[in-house]
């Protein structure tokens, strides 16, 4: 099967699964550029469920970019303290202040405009463009690398997200008509099925539509006499 057909089948199966198994988070309903950026800054190296109460309290106190930019930096840092990582709180303070200085109350939904801001970076800027702006820009983090790498047989070690083959695959696989839903689906699959350790390969919604390299390796290491796996995928 050629790559185009595989990525199309993968995308269709993923989105079909997502319609019934989507996780529900507040930032998925409030997709302004500002709120999307704040959510993504909070989500760095942190579980989504842990972010929910912090995010909800933050946007309640600072509903707009202007409100956050005018907020007391120490208070903002205190609001983010439950998430840990002091550098993240510093990034949030720098981000909202510089963003407001450049763009006023309306943060643009263009990745390049956001990427130039302190504390943003490639992923946050692409997320704003995708989730808030509807732009079909590929998002590549450890979760995306894990799922795509396992299914399509690409290396996931080291700086996999920077390798050309991974970036080309991420761009080819995404749905240009539903980029936000596609990426949410990919993240949800990574969290609920294709986990870092002991993935639930038997429950994978895409493995029936697309031959999964990772699952094939697991089956190859099964006990041939019983047909039962004697190997636990890592």
Active site residue 214: no
Read off φ and ψ for residue 229, nearest 5 degrees.
Answer: -70, 130
Active site residue 188: no
DSSP 47-83: -HHHHHHHHHHHHHH--SHHHHHTS-HHHHHHHHGGG
Of 67, 90, 122, 141, which is the active-site residue?
141
Of 25, 40, 62, 182, which is the active-site residue?
40
Helix (H), strand (E) at residue 4? helix 3-21
Of 30, 110, 123, 181, which is the active-site residue?
123
Active site residue 40: yes
Quote the CA–CA distance of 230 and 110 in Å, as a whole number.
49
**Which of 18, 78, 29 minimizes the C-alpha distance to 54?**
78
Q: Which residues are catalytic?
A: 40, 123, 141
């Amino acid at each position: 099967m050629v790559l185009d057909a595989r990525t199309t089948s993968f995308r269709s199966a993923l989105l079909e699964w997502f319609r019934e198994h989507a996780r529900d988070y507040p930032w998925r309903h409030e997709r302004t550029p500002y709120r999307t950026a704040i959510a993504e800054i909070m989500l760095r190296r942190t579980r989504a469920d842990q972010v929910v109460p912090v995010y909800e309290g933050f946007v309640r106190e600072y509903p707009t970019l202007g409100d956050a930019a005018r907020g007391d930096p120490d208070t903002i840092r205190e609001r983010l303290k439950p998430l840990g990582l002091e550098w993240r709180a510093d990034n949030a303070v720098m981000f909202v202040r510089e963003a407001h200085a450049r763009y006023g109350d309306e943060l643009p939904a263009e990745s390049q405009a956001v990427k130039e801001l302190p504390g943003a970076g490639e992923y946050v800027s692409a997320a704003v463009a995708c989730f808030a702006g509807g732009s079909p820009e590929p998002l590549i983090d450890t979760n995306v690398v894990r799922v795509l790498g396992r299914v399509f047989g690409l290396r996931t070690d080291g700086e996999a997200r920077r390798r050309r083959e991974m970036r080309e695959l991420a761009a080819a696989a995404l749905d240009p008509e539903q980029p936000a839903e596609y990426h949410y689906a990919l993240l949800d699959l990574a969290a609920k099925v294709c986990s870092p350790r002991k993935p639930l390969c038997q429950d994978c919604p895409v493995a029936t539509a697309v031959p999964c390299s990772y699952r094939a390796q697991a089956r190859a290491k099964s006990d041939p006499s019983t047909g039962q796996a004697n190997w636990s995928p890592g």
